[in-house]
Amino acid sequence: MGSRPSAIVLRNGEAGTADHTRLSAARHIWPPGARPATLPRMKRRALLALAAGLALAAVAGIAHTQDMSAPARDLFGAIREPAPLAARTIGGYSEGCIAGATALPITGPAWQAMRLQRNRNWGHPSLVAYLEKFATDAQRLDGWPGLLVGDMAQPRGGPMSSGHASHQTGLDADIWYLAMPNRVLTSEERASLSAINLLRPGTLEVDPQKWNEGLFRLLRRAASYPEVARIFVSPGIKQMLCNAAGGDRDWLRVIRPWYGHADHFHVRLDCPPGDGGCVNQAAPPPGDGCGEELAYWLGPEPYRPAPGPPQPPAPPKTLRDLPATCTTVLMAGYVEPPPPPLPPPRP
């Protein structure tokens, strides 16, 4: 076993290690008041290269010292580029990573990616293909103006510092209920524009002033593709779909009620064929899910506090909690620097 990194105190007062500091440096090297996009191109490239190098050096330092206790969210969040490996998903949706991820173009004819500052517009090529196909079909066949796409995955997947327990294998994507405007949004607008909550405040009921036939068609279209495993929505939105579906109800099986999801829906794809290391979620139960299951989600039981005293939050996942291959994915592209030359022999 190698020696562990020395303990230090981070700027927020929490205990950390020297490897955490290197990660922090990789994420905060921009000059005060300067965003990367505002710098001259050559300088911007140099800074991006430096950030990538610092992040990979931090990962390499942890691997070299065999310190596997660093939060995996910090390690994966610091890497800005995908692993230069063949595309494959590894592990499960909430404990995994992705090699060879593809970025969804931030602006397309029928979609725009949001929250670009998070660098979470990455996914398995099958997810990117699905989003482009779905966006185009919804616009052409259903009259939807276009998709606003929220979080997908980080460049190498893995745990995130905020917002999600899943989205780790490049097979999950959040899509806003707010339609794309008929112009290209600026980076500032994509960072600040708010999604629309479809529910009445303090309830699980959909506000009828915000619901329309276009949203019904959009969700039916999203669920119509065979690669879709699940689509998570607020229980009240599932109820609206159940009430309006008519006789064609097979697609409702993959529409799943879940906490939140009042201002976006969450698409999850099945593992791509041939990805042996990818772990699928169990298939939804048979039926349209509009009966007792939905009644449970619309009742008080799912929202009752757990009995007993409040439990402390679970510790953040580390590399030990992920498939071993995810360490390889994280390290891909890092070249160990050569050792310093030996001093010349004494005469």
Quote the tokens at residue 262.
């009042």
pLDDT in tens, the chain (347 residues): 333 332 222 222 222 333 332 333 333 333 333 344 444 555 555 555 555 555 555 555 555 444 578 999 999 999 999 999 999 999 999 999 999 999 999 999 999 999 999 999 999 999 999 999 999 999 999 999 999 999 999 999 999 988 788 999 999 999 999 999 999 999 999 999 999 999 999 999 999 999 999 999 999 999 999 999 999 999 999 999 999 999 999 999 999 999 989 999 999 999 999 998 999 999 999 999 999 999 999 999 999 988 888 888 889 999 999 999 999 999 999 766 667 777 777 76
**pLDDT on residue 310:** 87
Cβ-based neighbours of 201, under 8 Å, separated by 6 or more: none
Rg from Cα positions in the chain: 23
**pLDDT on residue 224:** 98
CA 142 to chain centre: 27
The bridge status of strand 264-269 relative to strand 172-176 is: antiparallel
**pLDDT on residue 169:** 97
CA 233 to chain centre: 17
Q: Are 203 and 226 in contact (CB under 8 A)?
A: no
Question: Tokens 């185009």 belong to which residue?
Answer: 136
Domains (range + CATH), the chain: 84-302 (3.30.1380.10)
The C-alpha angle 234, 235, 237, rounded to 5 degrees, equals 70
Cβ-based neighbours of 144, under 8 Å, separated by 6 or more: 138, 179, 214, 217, 218, 221
